[in-house]
């Protein structure tokens, strides 16, 4: 089993966002104010206390809804892969 890096897991989250038509980046610079603003709907990985959480931005203040809590990076990556496969299967049956 190969080691999963944070870069690989983040790429998996980007691919999932792309499949769902969600924003790819968690935060973007607002052209008018020059400030960073959260991109509602973006799924991303948050590292916390030695574990990882898969979250989705829920509001313009940057609040998140947790999708998966307290997993290893490999488990987060596997969860994202499983979500992508589920989307592909759903699209095949339509």
In contact, 23 and 40? CB cutoff 8 Å: yes
Q: What is the pLDDT along the chain (94 residues), one digit of tens a residue?
A: 789 999 999 999 999 999 999 999 999 998 999 999 999 999 999 998 999 999 999 998 889 999 999 999 999 999 999 999 999 999 998 8
What end-to-end distance do the CA atoms of the chain give, in Å? 35
Angle 6-20/73-92 helices, nearest 10 degrees? 20
On whether the CB atoms of residues 53 and 46 are closer than 8 A, the answer is: yes
Q: What is the pTM of this model?
A: 0.91
């Amino acid at each position: 089993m190969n080691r999963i890096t944070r870069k690989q897991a983040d790429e998996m989250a980007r691919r999932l966002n792309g499949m769902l038509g969600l924003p790819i980046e968690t935060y973007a610079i607002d052209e008018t104010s020059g400030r960073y603003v959260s991109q509602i709907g973006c799924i991303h990985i948050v590292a916390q206390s030695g574990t990882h959480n898969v979250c989705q931005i829920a509001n313009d203040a940057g609040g998140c809804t947790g999708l998966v809590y307290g997993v290893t990076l490999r488990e987060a990556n596997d969860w994202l892969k499983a979500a992508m496969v589920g989307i592909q299967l759903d699209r095949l049956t339509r």
